[in-house]
Amino acid sequence: MSGCIFCRIVAGEIPSKKVYEDEDIFAFNDISPARPVHILVIPKKHIESLAHVTEADTPVLGKMLAVANRLATEQGSPDGFRIIINTGRIGHQEVPHLHIHIVGGPEPVGPMLKKV
Ligand code: AMP
Ligand code: ZN
């Protein structure tokens, strides 16, 4: 999708700090890191959000999770990490191209969400 910022990153039209790439997946450092390790893992194919995946996307989703684990370990969060997939309006998704956030580092990332 030509107007999509993450599609443009995959195409090399917008610079990014790439940490991994294969035929299906691209991973790069978040431009505004929330923790010392903050990596985004995306499918190269434009999928708007987790709410838009189909049965055909399940292999790439599985691969994204497996790659996320490996990248977290390699990139400075070997003792655990958190995966976040913001989805849609309620999930406060800002970029409409499916992405996994990997957050971590040497210190615990803190409790999950403030309880209501
Ligand atoms: P979300 O709220 O889940 O849609 O998160 C979008 C994330 O993309 C945010 O953490 C942004 O900091 C990050 N982001 C936006 N533009 C870029 C960019 N050009 N390069 C790297 N990360 C970006
Ligand atoms: Zn896209």
Domain segments of the chain as ranges: 30-101
For residue range 37-94, what is the model confidence (pLDDT) as tens digits? 999 999 999 999 999 999 999 999 999 999 999 999 999 999 999 999 999 999 999 9
For residue range 94-115, what is the model confidence (pLDDT) as tens digits? 999 999 999 999 999 999 998 8
93 lines ligand 1 (CB under 6 A): yes
Whole-number pLDDT of residue 56: 97
Strands, DSSP E only, in the chain? 18-21, 25-29, 37-43, 82-84, 100-104
Whole-number pLDDT of residue 55: 97
Q: How far is the CA of 47 from the centre of ligand 2 (A)?
A: 6
**Whose alpha carbon is nearest atom 20 of ligand 1?**
31
pLDDT at 32 over 80: yes
Whole-number pLDDT of residue 30: 98
Closest-lying ligand to the alpha carbon of 48?
Answer: 2
Q: How far is the CA of 8 from the centre of ligand 2 (A)?
A: 7
CATH of domain 30-101: 3.30.428.10
Q: pTM for this one?
A: 0.97
Question: Closest by alpha carbon to 11, among 116, 3, 68?
Answer: 3
18 lines ligand 1 (CB under 6 A): no
Active site residues: 99
Closest-lying ligand to the alpha carbon of 44?
Answer: 2
Whole-number pLDDT of residue 1: 77
Whole-number pLDDT of residue 116: 87
